[in-house]
Amino acid sequence: LCVLGIESSCDETAVSVVRRADDGTVEVLSSVIHSQVVQHAAYGGVVPEIAARSHVETIDDLARLALQQAADKGVTADDLDAVAATAGPGLIGGVMVGLSFAKGFALSRSLPLIGVNHLEGHALSVRLTHDVKFPFLLLLVSGGHCQLLSVKGVGDYERLGTTIDDAAGEAFDKIAKTLGLGYPGGPALEREAKTGDATRFALPRALLGRKDCDFSFSGLKTAAAKIAMEQVKTPQDRADLCASVQAAIARQLVERSARAMVDFKEANTVEKPAFVVAGGVAANQTVRRELTALADKHGFEFVAPPLAYCTDNAAMIALAGLEHFAEKRAAPDFDGDEFRRESLTTVARPRWPLDERRAISAPIHK
Ligand code: ATP
Ligand code: MG
Ligand code: FE
């Protein structure tokens, strides 16, 4: 099976061609990304209108490039079985650009279209490179989300916990902004933290002792802003605060994941289940190291996608679409023509919780 994937939900335009062989081997034939970071940097965050326009300007060229790179490996547009595009959640203008492009492409080539939940892309991204079996425990830590999920199968997710305010990546970004580190803040804060003393500043521990798997980062954000204003005078002070903040975020991820691991083990009898960490924050080395140690302690196998698949990319969207398409196609009542027609009515959704049972967008007409 060969699928063209399109991603445009935030500030990356991305197109990819992914192939899965009959034996299950997954091959990323191309994965091209245009990041808008420089366009948004001046504003200290993503500006939706600028993002949408940039998607419009780049998507044609990116698609051409992704198809060309796949063709160089012997897979042409004629070999595609379906088109998958992010249909939400995300900035609606951007989502609509990618989804509309995908619809046009699918229509012109008579291909089915799969509307993919962006979070599902992150959830399954690990399967691009690792043969991870269901069920597995997932920590999704990105710019807009911070969730613990039990991934039982394709389209079957149980949310164990989520953030009650900011996402972990958002906390990195906002605190970095307060410290004048620029955008995006996560990588900048990590660089700065390298020379800092993580024990220098005491920061609050949110939701400590709570019996659920929820997260909260707003108290940490406020405390860090206060320290930044009152106590950060030298570059060393700043590095120390960055290191302290990074340690505090990592610690909360560890504490809540530990809780989820206990719950997961109670509900499942898998020998050594996988603990998958996906989303941009998984790129953070301190976070990775501590979560790896935690997984070892609790009898989980720590797995994280390579960094290129941790942040937004279209290969994960192509794969999620491919997995759904494979299931649909295997169903006894599968009608290719009807599926092709119906798939064009997929709608863009600004909000779309991953644990909602319906994994594919609802058609407009009902
Ligand atoms: P979502 O998927 O929830 O819509 P998103 O797509 O913006 O959000 P990703 O692209 O997965 O999120 O990740 C971006 C986030 O990851 C940003 O908040 C960024 O600061 C954070 N991030 C990236 N690298 C690092 C790092 N090395 N340390 C900490 N945070 C990081
Ligand atoms: Mg992004
Ligand atoms: Fe994302």
**Residue type (1 letter), 356:** E
Residue 46 CA: distances (Å) to CA of 41, 79, 146, 178: 8, 36, 19, 16
Give the integer Cα–Cα distance in Å for 18 and 336: 20
| Band of pLDDT at residue 357, cut at 50, 70 and 90 | low
Q: Are 98 and 12 in contact (CB under 8 A)?
A: no
| Structure tokens belonging to residue 171 | 């906390």
**Residue type (1 letter), 36:** Q
Termini Cα distance of the chain: 30
Residue 338 has pLDDT above 50, yes or no: yes
| Structure tokens belonging to residue 201 | 């500043």
| Structure tokens belonging to residue 116 | 């993919």
* pLDDT at res. 361: 45
* Residues in the annotated binding site: 118, 122, 140-144, 173, 186, 190, 284, 312
Running DSSP on this structure, what letter comes out for residue 135?
Answer: S
Residue 358 has pLDDT above 80, yes or no: no
Query: 126-146 in b/e burial notation, b at 16+ Cβ within 10 A?
Result: bbbbbebeebbbbbbbbbbbb
pTM for this entry: 0.92
H-type alpha helices, 311-352: 315-330, 336-343
**What would the mean pLDDT of 34-46 be, rounded to a whole number?**
89
Q: How far is the CA of 334 from the centre of ligand 3 (A)?
A: 31
Q: How far is the CA of 307 from the centre of ligand 3 (A)?
A: 13
Ligand number, closest to the Cα atom of 51: 2
Question: Tens of pLDDT along 190-245?
Answer: 999 999 999 999 999 888 878 899 999 999 999 999 999 999 999 999 999 999 99
Q: What does the mean pLDDT of the chain come to?
A: 93
* pLDDT at res. 274: 98
Q: How far is the CA of 46 from the centre of ligand 2 (A)?
A: 9
Is residue 94 within 6 Å of ligand 1 at its C-beta? no
Q: CB 11: neighbour CB atoms within 10 A?
A: 26
Contacts of 132 (CB under 8 A, 6+ apart): 126, 274, 276, 303
**What would the mean pLDDT of 243-259 be, rounded to a whole number?**
97
Running DSSP on this structure, what letter comes out for residue 133?
Answer: P
Is residue 190 within 6 Å of ligand 1 at its C-beta? yes
Residue 189 has pLDDT above 80, yes or no: yes
H-type alpha helices, the chain: 37-41, 48-72, 92-108, 118-124, 168-178, 185-193, 218-231, 235-267, 285-298, 307-310, 315-330, 336-343
% pLDDT > 90, the chain = 86
Running DSSP on this structure, what letter comes out for residue 280?
Answer: G
Question: Tens of pLDDT along 260-278?
Answer: 999 999 999 999 999 999 9
Give the integer Cα–Cα distance in Å for 42 and 178: 15
Residue 58 CA: distances (Å) to CA of 12, 198, 280, 287: 10, 41, 22, 33
